[in-house]
Amino acid sequence: MAKKALCLSEQSAEEHERQLHMSTIAIAFLGTPHRGSGIASFATGVAHILKAAHKRVNTDILSLLKRDSEVLADIDSAFGIWLRKRGKLMTITCFSEEHELPGTGLVGNKHGRG
């Protein structure tokens, strides 16, 4: 959650915590589903199976990754405000797959702004 970390860093009262947002000049997102993913429900099902097999999994985080998640929308909005404040001091690059995965389709969000 690089977006959230940068927004929190800017708002921090602690000088050393503000260093993150002040020192960041570029971000590369690799296959990041900025607006959620259609396979989050499938991943939640797999996580429940793993949990039943006594494996440690965090199913709560998967619910945040569902498509049209309100939490992701809030983070995206706050990050957009942060970016506008930074102006041309920030470079963002997003990489995502161009070919669909068999049975799942495109995982990332090709049209996300970052």
Residue 114 lies in a domain: no
Residue 107 lies in a domain: no
Provide the number of structural domains found in the chain: 1
pLDDT tens, 9-66?
999 999 999 999 899 999 998 878 788 887 777 778 888 888 888 888 877 777 778 8
pLDDT tens, 11-23?
999 999 999 989 9
Lowest mean pLDDT among 43-57, 63-77, 97-111: 97-111
Indicate if the alpha-carbon torsion angle 17, 18, 23, 28 is positive or negative: positive
Place of tokens 């296959």: 31
State the pTM of this model.
Answer: 0.68
80 vs 90, higher pLDDT:
80
State the residue range of the domain holding 63.
2-95
- Tell me the C-alpha to C-alpha distance, in Å, between residue 113 and each of 78, 104, 108: 13, 22, 12
Question: Is residue 6 exposed (0-12), middle (13-18) or buried (19+ Cβ within 10 Å)?
Answer: buried
